[in-house]
Structure 1
Amino acid sequence: MTQAPTLSQPLAGWSGHARGLLGLALPLIGSNIAGFAIHATDVVLMGWYDVTALAGIVLASSFYFILFITGSGFAVAVMPLVATAAQEGDATEVRRVTRMGLWLILGFAALIMPILIFSGPLLASMGQKPEVADYAGRYLHIAGWMIVPALVISLLRSFLSALEHTAVLLWSTIGIAVMNAVLGYAFIFGRWGFPEMGIEGAAWVALTTNSAGALALLGYAVWKLPEYRLLQRLWRPDWAALDRVFRLGWPIGGQLLAEVGLFAGSAMMVGWVGAVPLAAHGVALQLASLTFMLHLGLSQAVTVRTGQALGRGDSEGMRQGALVAILMSAGFALLASAVFLLWPETLLSLFVDPSDPARPQVLEVGVTLLALAAVFQIFDGAQVLAIGLLRGIQDTAIPMVLAALSYWVIGLPAAYAFGFVFGGEEIGVWLGLVISLVCAASLLMARFWRLASRPLTGLHA
């Protein structure tokens, strides 16, 4: 067994946990926000280009993420496995699980890519407006190829985060976000001598920036962490490690699919109402997604720190760290809710061209949807934090079941009932989102604290 370098040691006390958590979480939060900015830039640019094209990219992104997020479960599974192995000093195990994670995501991408590239007829058959489905299909015919570099980025993010190399994630993602904004403006609108390509331009830029991001992170990992010999014998199978990643990863993919499927399903339902409500839904969801990036960063950080606690057998430190993270998440959720309620039109107006004739309707619908987003902030933060804690102790199967129950058995039927049976349309669909997030937060937090009361040696085989 090759020895891994020593990671940072646990910090004592509540303030120590807060410092340690923030030191790991802040670069992750920043990189998540920068990653959000990449997609948000596309939404803003398409909103200024054409509202129907904006609806198309919202639909395409929702469909893409259903498939992408399922495969990313294998990449996410690498994070707690690497964190625990590194804390135990086992560099060989770090390399093995990372290599087998790569095998799994590449195999998944090979199966899924044709569905993305030729998704146009499938989207049209889902009851969407023909012009919106056409835009979405044209976008994915090009951008569908990016699932390979996007999954590689997800894997390398897990590897680097677990080894506490998070600053590179922040700076590389900022660089890619700037590249995406500049190239997107050039190719969507045809500026600086480039051809005007509209939504196809956005697709080519997405493919280019994801590929650049994957190469940048891989180069950093090989250069800065040579002791893990990340590219050594990539072709060599390690069936035991593959089994560990697969058993931990497929429930993560299922849980992520349940959550993203809820929001993608809501986009489909709002699309049945019309292009303007779908555009408003996309803009409001972008704003809610921005605040979610902080909770996601905290969740990723507690996955690493809980995985480290698992490697040390530190039950008390794990519980204290969890409480600190929950208090941080709740405080930010309350702040974000206040911003959504006080300045909704100011926020929404950033995404729609002032001269677009549909702008007043988009803003009118969006204000109500942002009020509902304010309601679910604390529950959205709590559910993703609970998921991060559970992943850290390598508990993923039951959380997948609880997520599916909350999102698909309760959430989607509630969204359909309030939206179309009771006539609430897009507002009713969002009420279903609120109900599902309340259920998920309650069930997943209860699951974590029930397990946290047990000895950690009984949780890690």
Structure 2
Amino acid sequence: MRTSDHVRALMRIGLPLIGGHVAQFGIGLTDTVMLGWYSVEALASVVLGSMFFFVIFILGSGFAIAVMPLVAEADAEGDEQALRRVTRMGLWLSVIFGVVVQPLFLMSGPLLLALKQAPDVAELAQDYLRIAGLGLVPALLVMVLKSYLAALEHTRVVFWVTVAAVPVNAVVNYGLIFGNWGLPEMGVKGAAIASIIVQFVSLVGVILYAIKALPQHTLFARVWRPDWEVFAKVFRLGLPIGVTNLAEVGLFSASSIMMGWLGTVTLAAHGIALQLASLAFMVHLGLSNAATVRAGNAMGRKDADHMARGAWVAIVASLLIAFVAVAIFLIFPEQLLGAFIDPQEPQREVIIATGVSLLYVAALFQVMDGAQVMALGLLRGVQDTRGPMVIAAISYWGIGVPSAYVLGFTFNLGGEGVWLGLVCGLTAAGILLMYRFWVTDLTRLRKRFSEKKASA
């Protein structure tokens, strides 16, 4: 394939996935904006509560993400039975995980207090999590089915299902958070109920599409029957992915905890700035998912040159997005932050001033944040997950978290120091993960594919 063909293929798969991730971000953004207008305390508590939920979700999502490269490879080989077996066991693992971790949501208040969060914020966060936790299983099932559909290049439905969920979330939030239309005013509990409704609506949407668009796969026929061989395969590939994701998300979650030590205002500013940085990350993540599918297909075709050219195209696209994000963060910080805070909020100016300095630091890690997630996408496409797990643990927890603490508290740089620690961790991960794909894995695959061609 020519470079232009790789660009078209990447955009065909990646653009709907980017749109889906941005729409998913829009759901979180709606929560943040509405709760920011409700009260600073509600915003701070849901920043913590969402972080807690996401940490657990991202660990369980490893099984869903593992489905993507396995289905892509099976599709390239024309093996419909394999892709069906992989997807079903991804669903199994997601349900099992979602049920096992439910006690963590019920005990979230004491856990947050043990992390030295303010008692009133921890109590509100627990109110949110005891309801929102019930939506974990449908959220994970949606992710498995989205991975299945994305691997088969049915990416538009991933986009449209998520887009449809945004207004549903906004309407239910508006009614239940503020008590509009005769509904009870429920604050953070209303936001939690809205999230559950959105997850179930999304699940119904992707199930109906999978049944109608791909009936030949009979995906849900005898779904209750175990397939222990494939169950173990998805588990072995998915658990390291989940732990890798946990290491990265844990870095940002640790930063949220440290920001909570600096006060409610600082935590609220951190939550808003992190939302904005996450928007740019959603674009990188969509491209990374597309890179996983493309690399998985190249694995099925046993074509290392095709894989390398596709990887370069994806990385260049990610770099361009990073440069755009840097420019926006540096030019429009006050306008971006101001949209999240009620104009009548007494602490509005302090929150914005704190958030501006954080966005300047966020501009520093855009390139490396894109680099590390692109490398992870490529590595997952070639089914290399254990080595990246070790690299992630070292980069995020061996370098990032200690750097954030030392710069933020030992050197008294406050919130800016904590975020500079994020830069250190992401930079280490970006360099090491890129090295592993280009030098270690691609060299190994070239040799393996050449030997198979020679023996054939």
In the alignment, which residue of structure 2 is the partner of 1:318?
307
The question of 1:268 aligning with 2:254 is answered no
Moved more, 392-401 or 121-130: 121-130
- Give CA-to-partner distance per residue, 1:14-71, whole Å, 9 cap, x none: 1110011001000000000000000110000000000111000000011111111001
Structure 2: runs of 5+ lacking an equivalent: none
The question of 1:89 aligning with 2:71 is answered no
- What is the root-mean-square deviation of aligned Cα atoms in Å? 1.3
Match of 2:12 among 20, 23, 28: 23
In the alignment, which residue of structure 2 is the partner of 1:239?
228
In the alignment, which residue of structure 1 is the partner of 2:141?
152
Q: What's the secondary structure of 2:47's corresponding residue?
A: helix
Q: What's the secondary structure of 1:242's corresponding residue?
A: helix
The question of 1:452 aligning with 2:436 is answered no
- Give CA-to-partner distance per residue, 1:143-170, whole Å, 9 cap, x none: 0101011100110110000011110111
Normalising by structure 2, what TM-score? 0.97
Partner AA of 1:58 in structure 2: V
Return closer, same or farther for 1:353/1:111 CA change in 2, 3 Å cut-off.
Answer: same
Structure 1: runs of 5+ lacking an equivalent: 1-11
The question of 1:130 aligning with 2:119 is answered yes
Distance 1:154 1:456 in 2: 32
In the alignment, which residue of structure 2 is the partner of 1:9?
none
* Structure 1 position 192, deviation (Å): 1.7
Counterparts of residues 41-56 of structure 1 (less than 5 Å): 41-56=30-45
* Structure 1 position 219, deviation (Å): 1.3
The question of 1:65 aligning with 2:50 is answered no
Partner AA of 2:65 in structure 1: V
Where in structure 1 do 4 or more consecutive aligned residues deviate above 6 Å?
none
Q: What's the secondary structure of 1:454's corresponding residue?
A: helix
Distance 1:437 1:107 in 2: 31
Match of 1:121 among 110, 121, 124: 110
Partner AA of 1:367 in structure 2: V
The question of 1:223 aligning with 2:212 is answered yes
Distance 2:445 2:432 in 1: 21
* Structure 1 position 130, deviation (Å): 1.1
In the alignment, which residue of structure 2 is the partner of 1:170?
159
* Structure 1 position 455, deviation (Å): 3.0
Distance 1:438 1:455 in 2: 26
Partner AA of 1:76 in structure 2: I
* Structure 1 position 308, deviation (Å): 0.2
Q: Is the 8 A contact 1:96 1:241 kept in 2?
A: yes
Distance 1:247 1:263 in 2: 26
Partner AA of 2:112 in structure 1: L
Counterparts of residues 197-208 of structure 1 (less than 5 Å): 197-208=186-197
Match of 2:296 among 291, 298, 307: 307
Partner AA of 2:397 in structure 1: W
Number of aligned residues: 450
Distance 2:28 2:135 in 1: 13
Distance 2:262 2:297 in 1: 48
In the alignment, which residue of structure 1 is the partner of 2:66?
77
Q: What's the secondary structure of 1:17's corresponding residue?
A: helix
* Structure 1 position 118, deviation (Å): 3.0
Q: Is the 8 A contact 1:313 1:457 kept in 2?
A: no
Normalising by structure 1, what TM-score? 0.96
The question of 1:438 aligning with 2:445 is answered no
In the alignment, which residue of structure 1 is the partner of 2:375?
386
* Structure 1 position 188, deviation (Å): 0.6
